[in-house]
């Protein structure tokens, strides 16, 4: 049994025994940790712990059909939340007094999980915040809502969970190593959404879906870095065309003793073609091709439709304008109504599957890519950093990726020389 399976099994067994666990999401998403408990096991003591170490907002994720049975409509019709978190109207149990105490909230949480409860048993609004999980679960959305509902199902509990985001004494969200320290301090199992996705990919045997991409052509591509076998693919759902550059060829990959070195590269016209100094994309592309040819067995996947982390070329230019006014790459996206990262990495997994590659050594600074591959059944045996090319124009952008998106960037980032241009999108 590998480490991921052991971690998830420990979390499942802990939930089944009526104790909370910790779930951390992707650094590229909220980059936060949530306490998770099966709602049916909520006690006053557990709720007090949630309130002491959480944000004060305790939510109860549940499947859509459960929310509909309890007549819990969505809080708003037009959801403009960055992550589309599906809040319903808030509730208190009718016997919950003022609804604010730990005992009152625990009663409401348990009632929400009671299979015999009815809509008339709740007052609206209240102090508990139900959330509706996507019908497709984690396959559709990589949120704490879907992860907690999936965990309670795996634990054999009812369909409702209770969650709260961890914060420190100053009210700031815990992330990274601070979540790990909290888990050790209170002896709580800690898993990531990526762990759960990997676990589900290994243990679920659904009917195979037709491939989302299809191979459309193949030819030799000589480059300054060496010769590649170039294989073209097309996503039927989006029309986007992607490339797989295989060095030196598929036969060599089949004979390799280790998983191939693999770079999943998002298209960036400004960086890859125009030589923009706002981002590190062009340098990363060149460095990846060199590393792969040096390895003599590797793959570079060039994914189209990823311009500006999925917001398109026009959106990228608009975001640049906001960055020149002082916003960073994340806040510029959200100010324009775009997600922090709107890229779909499933075509990469589909292409790797078509190439007969079940496991890879990933060449990336972005942990979200490893999570995405695990979600689609591709094993990532190793993640290798790709040091960026630092310029005065991209230094703030790189710092934002490191500090707010959790990218692995060990390069020392000195103060930018031209701060008004140092907020690239890439």
For strands 213-223 and 226-235, give the pairing.
antiparallel
Q: Is 141 annotated as a binding residue?
A: yes
Q: Is 364 annotated as a binding residue?
A: yes
Residue 329 in marked binding region: yes
d(CA 247, CA 288): 12
284 is in an annotated binding site: yes
Q: Is 202 a catalytic residue?
A: no
**Taking CA 240 as the corner, what is the angle to CA 388 and CA 248, rounded to the nearest 5 degrees?**
55
Q: In this structure, how many other beta carbons lie within 10 angstroms of the beta carbon of residue 416?
A: 20
Q: Is 264 annotated as a binding residue?
A: yes
Q: Which helix (H) or strand (E) holds 65?
A: helix 64-69
From residue 345, give the alpha-carbon distance in Å to each of 21, 76, 368, 374.
28, 30, 10, 11
Is 341 considered catalytic here? Answer: yes
- Choice among 343, 396, 402, 423 that is catalytic: 343
Are 350 and 242 in contact by the 8 Å Cβ rule? The answer is: no
Is 323 annotated to bind a ligand? Reply is no
| Residue 286 known to bind ligand | no
Q: According to the annotation, is 59 in a ligand binding site? A: no
Bridge-based pairing of strands 21-24 and 33-38 is antiparallel
Does residue 263 have a known ligand-binding role?
Answer: yes
- Rounded CA gap, 175 and 27, in Å? 8
Active-site annotation holder among 110, 341, 402, 423: 341
Q: In 189-311, where does DSSP find H-type helix?
A: 193-203, 250-255, 281-295, 307-310
> Is 401 annotated among the ligand-binding residues?
no
142 is in an annotated binding site: yes
Annotated binding-site residue? 127:
no
Residue 219 main-chain phi, psi, to 5 deg: -160, 165
Would you name the residues annotated as active-site residues? 341, 343
Annotated binding-site positions: 29-30, 34, 141-145, 263-268, 279, 281, 284, 307-309, 329, 364, 369
Annotated binding-site positions for Zn(2+): 268, 279, 281
Annotated binding-site positions for GTP: 263-267, 284, 307-309, 329, 364, 369
Annotated binding-site positions for Mg(2+): 30, 144
Annotated binding-site positions for D-ribulose 5-phosphate: 29-30, 34, 141-145
């Amino acid at each position: 049994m590998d480490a991921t399976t052991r971690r998830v099994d420990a979390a499942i067994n802990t939930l089944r025994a009526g104790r909370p666990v910790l779930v951390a999401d992707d650094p590229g998403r909220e980059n936060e940790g949530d306490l998770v408990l099966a709602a049916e096991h909520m006690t006053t003591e557990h709720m007090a712990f949630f309130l002491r170490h959480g944000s004060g907002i305790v939510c109860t994720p549940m499947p859509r059909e459960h929310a509909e049975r309890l007549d819990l409509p969505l809080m708003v019709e037009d959801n403009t939340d960055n992550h589309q978190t599906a809040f319903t109207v808030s509730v208190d149990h009718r016997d919950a007094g003022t609804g604010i105490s730990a005992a009152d909230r625990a009663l409401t949480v348990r009632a929400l999980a009671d299979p015999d409860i009815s809509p008339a048993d709740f007052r609206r609004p209240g102090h508990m915040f139900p959330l509706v999980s996507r019908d497709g679960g984690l396959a559709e959305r990589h949120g704490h809502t879907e992860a907690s509902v999936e965990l309670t199902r795996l634990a054999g509990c009812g369909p409702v969970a209770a969650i709260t985001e961890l914060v420190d004494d100053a009210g700031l969200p815990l992330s990274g190593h601070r979540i790990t320290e909290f888990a050790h301090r209170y002896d709580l199992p800690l898993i990531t959404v990526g762990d759960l996705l990997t676990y589900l990919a290994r243990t679920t045997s659904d009917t195979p879906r037709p491939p989302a991409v299809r191979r459309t052509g193949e030819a030799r591509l000589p480059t300054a870095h060496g010769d590649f076998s170039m294989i073209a693919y097309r996503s039927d759902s989006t029309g986007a065309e992607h490339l797989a550059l295989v060095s030196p060829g598929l036969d060599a990959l089949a004979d390799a003793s280790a998983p191939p070195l693999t770079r999943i590269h998002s298209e960036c016209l400004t960086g890859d073609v125009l030589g923009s100094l706002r981002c590190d994309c062009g340098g990363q592309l060149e460095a990846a091709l060199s590393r792969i040819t040096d390895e003599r067995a590797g793959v570079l996947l060039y994914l189209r439709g990823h311009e500006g982390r999925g917001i398109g070329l026009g959106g990228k230019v608009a975001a640049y304008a906001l960055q020149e006014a002082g916003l960073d790459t994340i806040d510029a996206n959200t100010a324009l109504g775009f997600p922090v990262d709107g890229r779909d990495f499933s075509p990469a997994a589909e292409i790797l599957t078509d190439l007969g590659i079940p496991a890879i050594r990933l060449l990336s600074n972005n942990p979200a890519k490893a999570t995405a591959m695990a979600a689609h059944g591709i094993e990532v045996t190793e993640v290798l950093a790709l040091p960026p090319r630092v310029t005065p124009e991209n230094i703030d952008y790189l710092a934002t990726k490191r500090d707010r998106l959790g990218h692995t960037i060990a390069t020392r980032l000195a103060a930018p020389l031209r701060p008004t241009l140092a907020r690239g999108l890439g």
